[in-house]
Amino acid sequence: MSPDPAPCRVAIIGDNFMLPSMFERALRAACGERVDLRSLTLPWPDEPMEHGYARVGMDGLKEYQGDPDEIVRFVDDAEVLVTQLAPVSAAMLDRMPALKLIAVSRGGPVNIDMAAARARGVRVVNTPGRNASAVAEFAIGAILAETRLIRSGHEALRAGEWRGDLYRADRTGRELSEMTVGVVGYGQIGTRVVRLLKAFGCRILVADPYVQLTAADRADGVEHVHLEDLLSRADVVTLHARVTPETTGFIGRHQFAAMKEGAIFVNTARGPLVDYDALYHALAEGHLGGAMLETFAVEPVPADWPLLQLPNVTLTPHIAGASVKTITIAAEAAAEEVRRHIDGEPPLNPC
């Protein structure tokens, strides 16, 4: 009778959001005692991420956190690395020859040099859609904060002012049931936003040139339209597109000018999709009624950023995807990829 194979050595590098303990629990549930686990905790989000362009030898990487030498020492002879933010550059891979699999618990492995990993035969997997439910739910809250004047009322009371005038017919908010909402991007988040919006009885427009509506959405009266049509008709525009060379800055001066006067703009997707200078002018000049911004081209935003000074903008610090459910989904998805690696099965989400 042959002895049981040695357990797979797995290095877990978590942080204060993706807790190592959550990874450990998921890995034990998926793999039992077939994994030898070691864990390290990075200080994110209490300390900011870095960007590859700012450090020699880390070009090709975008958002990451962790000192390369410390990461290499910790991973050591591990066959698998499970992480959200730890960087893996070409030079680092050369110092981790035992590594065969990197499971990144985020939608895009921007902290990994993918070309270098492919060249060295290291498979990289990710966890797409881990926060889709959280972001969709947050987007609905963002829309309501603007349409029902929740931000305006809150800020006034904080300043000691009772805004009874918000009950005036010419100033009060509007119900979603009487509005048209345009959803730009029909991926995992956009489809969930559409599903949630139906409960409010609003007219729903979708713009995404690369997908078709589901049969259920078509039956419910959701319209698939060109972006220009959506912008001209929607009372609320909510952004859920991916960042690609095609979509970078694709909502700019012309797009804001095409929107209805008094319309509301919501971005819970990514900052680089939007020309924020153009948005500032559209808001400051009164063409748009308001905006809710959750993501930014530069994070953290500068303290003197002009959009921070406008009274018709709600801002949050990129927290739409942060939920306990997101952590659980990501940890379980990463653990399943490790189990499949151990059992010789193909990955579910190869990058």
Active site residues: 270, 299, 318
Alpha carbon distance 16, 45 (integer Å): 6
Count of alpha carbons within 13 angstroms of residue 274, beta-carbon side? 30
3-state secondary structure at position 247: coil
| Start-end of H helices in the chain | 20-31, 68-75, 90-94, 114-119, 132-147, 150-158, 188-198, 215-219, 227-233, 253-258, 276-284, 324-342
Bridge partner residues of 120 (DSSP): none
Alpha carbon distance 223, 217 (integer Å): 8
The CA distances from residue 226 to 197, 206, 209, 232, in Å, are 20, 8, 8, 10
User: Residue 332: what are its φ and ψ, rounded to 5°?
Assistant: -70, -35
Strands 101-104 and 203-207 turn out to be: unpaired
Alpha carbon distance 194, 220 (integer Å): 10
Q: Answer whether the bond into residue 20 is a cis peptide, omega within 30°.
A: no
User: Residue 267: what are its φ and ψ, rounded to 5°?
Assistant: -125, 105
3-state secondary structure at position 166: helix
**DSSP states of 93-145:** HHT-TT--EEEE-SSS-TTB-HHHHHHTT-EEE--TTTTHHHHHHHHHHHHHH
Which of 112, 106, 136, 134 lies closest to 124 in space, CA to CA? 112
